[in-house]
């Protein structure tokens, strides 16, 4: 089915989206409302697959990013829940204008589900009511959700501190005592996203459902947990819709919480349940929605953001369409230097805490082009999740480098994060012919070295899980079916983080040829990344004869994915300084 990148540009920040068009006239038009922060990364591929399945069955779907998130315009510092609701309304107005008279609805995930519900409760009067509202594991209690995020932040801080102590051989630091009060007045860093006091207050005040002035015709609530039970909290929340006259159904899916998993996982039962329920939805009475008014001139569809610096692109690799975004400097001349970002095994072109987006935009300001793209089976690109291997990722990286050269860049530098660094090394050994390599948190390729790094992490998590056995909340989760047994088993067994045999063979061959690479190489690690003490000596041994062309910097206190706003900025500062030194006159 056709998938059309769209950018809603106007007086507000431009919103990036993808419109999934069915063949013929759609029976329904849906807007997908994604979850918050890093939960969006975990849910992204599942939303893509759901949109494609719905389009195959005659439903038009618009997926989009809120302002200041994903590929959309703006800074996350500008993100608010009120602004996100406005963005949903803009997206909804866009699809209604695209398909006048077609019933419309919303599908939301986690915090996005609560926001979708608020928008559905205040549906435009000329449109009657929302035809349907689909809620995947909605956030019911905003205060509890905000406090959970704070606890997650502190847990990550403790893990980072402990991993750093283990990596350096120092004594374990004393764990900070849990805090129950509100965050400091200036805000706080949540996995690289700066949460302002205003945003935190909005989250704490979030109530689901709110005042239901105009209820949707039909509501589907889906719980996702290991027990396969609909939560009582959701049943209680949805009862308000029944009282308001809506038709309510609930379902439960046996699955791990995909939004918090490290790797993208298919959840076919969730997709099929959603598809079946929507397909069974009766047509609304009459001829459908009233024809909406035309979009105001300030709300137009464009294929570049306001400054004209970014545009959606697609190119092929081994018969698969890969989707990305190309960032260009404002100058009319074609830039001489371009970057290709290579995300990790479980990532997307956005990068953790929008790291790649930040790099691309800052590089464009420095006169350097940047292509961010999704590997096949990841993000928005074609292919199935299971298709991705190290070999296919290298093929995709080579295709991306070729595409960037065809766009006019004379010099191409590959920027890899985690497994993306191994892809960069592999692509350099093949036909990508990069002029330089930037390797952030590059893992090792030799089995013995890799197992040493993974074993260190396994010992750490075993101690953590053992400690948790004595906590009452652990047993409450066990009884409630909320423990993530699959995730725990992967971590404790050590299978999480060890490459497949075929992938390791590819990595070893590429690493053996790394010493033949003649361009400059820049390694960046966090001092609290447990991979660093193993990886740095490994690459120093391989590149022993090339000290003049190899640079290494370590970000003090940072973890593997640089989950912190200050760490992200330091990574970007150091990387751009390295680029300026080795590839001056980036703009040509």
The pLDDT of residue 472:
54
Q: Residue 81: which of 63, 68, 94 has the closest Cα?
A: 68
The pLDDT of residue 2:
84
Tokens of 55: 């389009």
CATH architecture, domain 311-445+502-582: 3-Layer(aba) Sandwich (3.40)
The pLDDT of residue 159:
77
Which letter does DSSP use for residue 280 in this model? T
Give the residue, 123 or 175, on which the prediction is more confident: 123
Q: Are 136 and 257 in contact (CB under 8 A)?
A: no
Q: Residue 107: which of 218, 18, 31, 35 has the closest Cα?
A: 31
**Tens of pLDDT, residues 425-469:** 999 999 899 999 999 999 997 665 555 555 555 554 555 545 555
Strand-by-strand arrangement of the 300-302 sheet: 247-254, 218-225, 132-136, 104-109, 28-33, 59-64, 15-20, 3-9, 300-302
Q: Residue 372: which of 337, 394, 397 has the closest Cα?
A: 397
d(CA 281, CA 104): 12
Give the residue, 8 or 461, on which the prediction is more confident: 8
- Tell me whether the CATH fold assigned to 3-140+208-280 matches the one assigned to 311-445+502-582: yes
Q: SS3 of 31, please? A: strand
Q: Has domain 3-140+208-280 been given CATH number 3.40.50.1820? A: yes
d(CA 474, CA 478): 6
The pLDDT of residue 457:
53
Tokens of 424: 């960069």
Which residues lie below 8 Å from residue 199, measured CB to CB, with a gap of 6+?
79, 80, 81, 187
Rg of the chain (C-alpha set): 24
The pLDDT of residue 173:
47
**Cross-strand pairs, 71:** none
Say how many Å lie between the first and final Cα of the chain, rounded. 40
The pLDDT of residue 13:
87
Q: Residue 247 to residues 140, 221, 250, 251, 546: CA-CA distances in angstroms? A: 19, 11, 10, 14, 68
d(CA 151, CA 473): 13
Which letter does DSSP use for residue 65 in this model? -
The pLDDT of residue 293:
46
Q: Residue 579: which of 406, 367, 422, 385 has the closest Cα?
A: 367
d(CA 156, CA 145): 16
**Tens of pLDDT, residues 473-513:** 554 554 455 555 554 554 444 444 445 667 888 888 888 88
Counting residues of the chain whose pLDDT is more than 70, the rounded percentage is 80
Q: Which residue has the tokens 């292919």?
A: 383
Phi, psi of 6 (to 5 degrees): -135, 150
Which residues lie below 8 Å from residue 93, measured CB to CB, with a gap of 6+?
292, 295, 299
d(CA 586, CA 551): 19
The pLDDT of residue 496:
46
Strand-by-strand arrangement of the 411-417 sheet: 310-317, 320-327, 369-373, 337-342, 411-417, 436-440, 521-526, 550-555
Q: Are 557 and 526 in contact (CB under 8 A)?
A: yes
**Tens of pLDDT, residues 121-169:** 888 766 678 999 999 999 999 999 999 988 888 888 887 777 666 655 6
Task: Give the start-to-end residue ranges of the domains of the chain.
Answer: 3-140+208-280, 143-201, 311-445+502-582, 448-493
Q: Residue 554: which of 520, 527, 586 has the closest Cα?
A: 527
The pLDDT of residue 124:
73
Q: Residue 51: which of 43, 61, 39, 41 has the closest Cα?
A: 61
Question: Mean pLDDT in the chain?
Answer: 85
Of 171-175, 253-257, 331-335, 484-488, highest mean pLDDT: 253-257
């Amino acid at each position: 089915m056709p998938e059309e990148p769209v950018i809603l540009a106007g007086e507000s920040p431009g919103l990036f989206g993808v419109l999934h068009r069915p063949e013929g006239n759609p029976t329904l038009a849906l807007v997908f409302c994604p979850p918050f922060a890093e939960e969006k990364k975990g849910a992204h591929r599942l939303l893509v697959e759901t949109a494609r399945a719905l389009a195959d069955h005659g439903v038009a779907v618009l997926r989009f990013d809120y302002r200041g998130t994903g590929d959309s315009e703006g800074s996350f510092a500008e993100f608010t829940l009120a602004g996100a609701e406005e963005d949903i309304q803009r997206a909804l107005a866009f699809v209604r204008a695209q398909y006048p008279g077609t019933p419309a609805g919303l599908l939301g995930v986690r915090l996005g589900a609560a926001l979708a519900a608020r928008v559905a409760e205040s549906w435009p009067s000329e449109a009657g009511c929302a035809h349907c509202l689909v809620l995947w594991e909605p956030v019911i209690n905003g205060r509890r959700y905000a406090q959970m995020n704070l606890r997650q932040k502190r847990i990550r801080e403790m893990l980072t501190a402990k991993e750093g102590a283990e990596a350096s051989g120092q004594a374990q630091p004393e764990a900070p005592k849990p805090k129950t009060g509100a965050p400091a007045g200036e805000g706080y860093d949540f996995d690289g996203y700066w949460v302002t006091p205003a945003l935190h207050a909005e989250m704490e005040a979030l109530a689901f459902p709110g005042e239901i002035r105009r209820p949707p015709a039909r509501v589907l609530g889906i719980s996702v947990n290991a027990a396969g039970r609909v939560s009582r909290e959701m049943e209680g929340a949805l009862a308000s819709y029944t009282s308001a006259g809506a038709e309510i159904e609930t379902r439960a899916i046996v699955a791990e919480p995909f939004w918090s998993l490290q790797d993208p996982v298919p959840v076919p039962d969730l997709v099929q349940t959603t598809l079946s329920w929507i397909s069974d939805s009766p047509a609304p009475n009459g001829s459908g929605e009233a024809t909406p008014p035309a979009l105001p001139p300030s709300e137009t569809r464009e294929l570049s953001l306001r400054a004209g610096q970014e545009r959606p692109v697609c190119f092929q690799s081994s018969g698969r369409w890969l989707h990305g975004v190309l960032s260009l400097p404002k100058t009319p001349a074609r830039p001489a230097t371009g970057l290709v970002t290579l995300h990790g095994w479980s990532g997307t072109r956005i990068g953790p805490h929008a790291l790649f987006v930040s790099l691309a935009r800052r590089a464009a300001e420095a006169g350097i082009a940047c292509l961010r793209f999704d590997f096949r089976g990841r993000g928005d690109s074609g292919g199935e999740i299971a298709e991705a291997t190290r070999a296919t990722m290298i093929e995709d990286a080579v295709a991306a480098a070729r595409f960037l050269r065809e766009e006019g860049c004379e010099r191409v530098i590959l920027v890899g994060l985690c497994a993306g660094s191994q892809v960069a090394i592999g692509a350099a050994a093949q036909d990508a012919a990069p002029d330089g390599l930037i390797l952030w948190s590059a893992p090792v390729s030799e089995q013995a070295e890799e197992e040493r790094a993974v074993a260190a992490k396994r010992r750490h998590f075993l101690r953590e899980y053992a400690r948790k056995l004595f906590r009452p909340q652990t047993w409450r989760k066990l009884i409630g079916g909320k423990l993530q047994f699959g995730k725990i088993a992967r971590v404790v067994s050590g299978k999480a983080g060890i490459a497949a045999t075929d992938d390791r063979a590819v990595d070893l061959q590429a690493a053996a040829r790394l010493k033949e690479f003649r361009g400059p190489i820049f390694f960046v690690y966090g001092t609290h990344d447990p991979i660093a003490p193993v990886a740095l000596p490994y690459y120093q041994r391989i590149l022993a004869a090339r000290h003049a062309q190899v640079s290494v910097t370590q970000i003090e206190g940072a973890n593997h994915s640089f989950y912190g706003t200050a760490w992200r900025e330091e990574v970007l500062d150091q990387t751009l300084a390295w680029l300026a030194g080795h590839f001056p006159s980036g703009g040509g």
